[in-house]
Amino acid sequence: MPPHTRPRTKAEQREETTQNLVEHARELFATYGYAKVSLSQIVTAAGVTKGALYHHFAGKEDLFQAVLTQVHQEVADRVASAAPDADLWTQFIAGCRAFLTASTEPRIQQIMLVDAPSVLGWGVWREIDASTSRQHLEEIVTQLIEQDLISKQPVAPLVHLLSGAMNEAALWLTTSTTRAHDVEATMAALTNLLKSLRT
């Protein structure tokens, strides 16, 4: 055994196997779509047995939910890290644009917007979104209202309206035949919409 190394604990082995399955499942789901990916393909790609997969996940749908959670969290991280050194208003604009940019990337779209609603249902989708991107949106909108950059109003309705508008735009863009043009047009419209909120 090389110096300064130790055997991995069972918890570390479980975590490594779980991440390995999620990583390979995500690649396959993003490339081919949920319906066209089998458990056999996933375990072959991950280099594990079906028994190992079932030890960590209840099945394909459960594994897909883990993948979706990872995707949502990555999108939220991109939103939160947009223009981190800028003023609050600029962070708000940049974060909303970052969400739309990320959610219109084809490999994220396939998992988050094309497959997730039909595989898991909108209820589960909203629960995951509420703990990631929407949570960040709620935090920054609250701060903007507290600093009088947006007029005083209930936070929840505004957050749901903004979140709904961006999600609907991202869904529309999944069917666009002129994607590059429509993304730019949507970004411009989103920026104008957000600017209209400013006091």
What average pLDDT score do residues 138-161 get?
96
Beta bridge partners of 181: none
In a domain, 4, yes or no: no
Whether residue 157 is contained in a domain is answered as yes
Q: Which pLDDT score, from 0 to 100, does residue 1 have?
A: 47
- Cα separation of 39 and 23, whole Å? 14
171 assigned to some structural domain: yes
* 146: CATH: 1.10.357.10
The answer to whether 95 touches 53, Cβ cutoff 8 Å, is no
Instruction: State the average pLDDT over residues 84-102.
Output: 92
Confidence of residue 3 (pLDDT cuts 50, 70, 90): low
| Interval 13-44: pLDDT, tens | 888 999 999 999 999 999 999 999 999 999 99
Cβ neighbors of 16 (< 8 A, separation 6 or more) are 8
Distance CA 154, CA 122 (A): 24
Residue at 1 is within a domain:
no
Residue 144 lies in a domain: yes
Q: Given a cut of 70, is residue 2 above it in pLDDT?
A: no
C-alpha 150/C-alpha 144 separation (Å) is 6
Q: Do the domain assignments include residue 2? A: no
Number of domains in the chain: 1
Position 11 scores a pLDDT of 78
The pLDDT, as a whole number, for residue 96 is 92
How is residue 8 annotated by DSSP?
A: P
Residue 77 lies in a domain: yes
Q: Assess if residue 102 is contained within a domain.
A: yes
Domain that holds residue 88: 10-196
Q: How far is CA 104 from the centre of its chain?
A: 11
Structure confidence by residue, pLDDT tens digits, 46-84? 999 999 999 999 999 999 999 999 999 999 999 999 999
Q: What is the pTM of this model?
A: 0.87
